[in-house]
Amino acid sequence: MLAFFVNIIADRWRKIFNNMGWIENCALSLNAVLKSETNDAEARLMRRSIIRYLVLSQILTFRDISMRVRRRFPDLSTIVSSGLMMDHELQMLEKVEVAIFNKYWVPVNWALTILSQAYRKKYVDNAPCLNMMIKEINGFRNGLAVLCNYDWVPIPIAYPQVVFLAVRCYFILCLVCRQYLVGDGAPKHAPVAEALLNPLGEDDDDFECNFLIDRNIAIGMAIVDQTSDKFPTMKMDVLSDRDLMYMNFEKYDEGFLPILLKHGADKDLVCLIYSFEEIEREWGRQGENEIVLLES
């Protein structure tokens, strides 16, 4: 029972971590598809606004599931003070009437609307690029939705209580019946489950949501602003010299050089094909544990 409970808690912890929301994919994809040769200032503003709206949606989500973020942003006016949302955007957000339900999706809708406007203005070259970018933004939103679902439906409180009570009762009985405990591993499962039960809490080993917010806005803006349509000047590299192609091999006999480096087909093996003379490169299936050595 204890092992099953720990497995559930660990799987829940892993899925929450995988859906925390990392901005790089959206920012890099946005950098590649949204650009303009005639009006770069507007294209830059669109990229920055989309990234800011995605992080804003993340903040609105984290405020309701993490006490650390809630203390940092106790109300929406503090988000405006931080610069992540403007006054007119706050007014638009407050005008959306959805009764008592959340509005996490509103900034995402703004981002998608800007993306559609960029496509109409030919800042996005074609429909496949637009579709790819929409999928990236929706994927970011889906991760936040998963976090909301886990926070909305927690593990039934009776289950951990029964497990922890059973573990403690068992060891109390062991103290009376056995007068000693065999092994050190069993008692440590319960504290592990207790530590992982709420990964969005305030313990030292819980997720740093505030760090993720700061990181996403900094890296996202740097990607779409500082590195947009920029790359180093392309020059011929030193590896173009055939004599340097084998620089990773420390020692080899003269005239007996590795010609081809490939992975095995049936198993993740790296096989070297050697030859005393130049031969044509051949590709084919390699059996498990098979050694390939070609000679001219």
Q: What is the pLDDT of residues 164-176, one digit of tens each?
A: 788 778 777 777 7
Nearest 10 degrees: CA dihedral of 43, 128, 22, 139?
Answer: 130
- Calculate mean pLDDT across residues 67-87: 92
pLDDT at position 23: 92
Nearest 10 degrees: CA dihedral of 258, 260, 265, 271?
Answer: 10
Reported pTM: 0.69
pLDDT at position 272: 47
More confident residue, 127 or 191: 127
Q: pLDDT band at 183, cuts 50/70/90?
A: low
What distance in Å separates the CA atoms of residue 47 and residue 223, rounded to the nearest whole number?
Answer: 10
DSSP reduced 3-state for 17:
helix
More confident residue, 84 or 170: 84
Model confidence at 178: pLDDT above 80: no
CB of 240 closer than 8 Å to CB of 255: no
Q: pLDDT band at 267, cuts 50/70/90?
A: very low
Q: Which distant-in-sequence residues (6+ apart) come within 8 Å of 17 by Cβ?
A: 199, 207
Model confidence at 292: pLDDT above 90: no
More confident residue, 126 or 36: 126
Q: pLDDT band at 41, cuts 50/70/90?
A: confident
More confident residue, 259 or 91: 91
Q: Where are the domains of the chain?
A: 2-157+191-226, 236-296
pLDDT at position 199: 80
What distance in Å separates the CA atoms of residue 199 and residue 86, rounded to the nearest whole number?
Answer: 31
Q: Is the dihedral of CA 252, 257, 263, 269 positive or negative?
A: negative
Model confidence at 278: pLDDT above 70: no
Q: In this structure, how many other beta carbons lie within 10 angstroms of the beta carbon of residue 222?
A: 12
What distance in Å separates the CA atoms of residue 40 and residue 115, rounded to the nearest whole number?
Answer: 15
What distance in Å separates the CA atoms of residue 145 and residue 148, rounded to the nearest whole number?
Answer: 5
What distance in Å separates the CA atoms of residue 22 and residue 213, rounded to the nearest whole number?
Answer: 9
- Calculate mean pLDDT across residues 33-51: 88
**Residue 13 in tokens:** 């912890």
pLDDT at position 189: 66
The tens digit of pLDDT for each residue in 104-138 reads 999 999 999 999 999 999 999 899 999 999 999 99
Model confidence at 86: pLDDT above 60: yes
Model confidence at 270: pLDDT above 50: no
Model confidence at 275: pLDDT above 50: no
CB of 265 closer than 8 Å to CB of 285: yes
pLDDT at position 90: 92
Model confidence at 284: pLDDT above 80: no
Q: What is the mean pLDDT of the chain?
A: 77
The distance from CA 266 to its chain's CA centroid, rounded to whole angstroms, is: 30
What distance in Å separates the CA atoms of residue 118 and residue 137, rounded to the nearest whole number?
Answer: 15
More confident residue, 136 or 249: 136
The tens digit of pLDDT for each residue in 209-238 reads 888 888 888 888 888 877 777 767 766 666
**Residue 129 in tokens:** 């690029």
Model confidence at 74: pLDDT above 70: yes
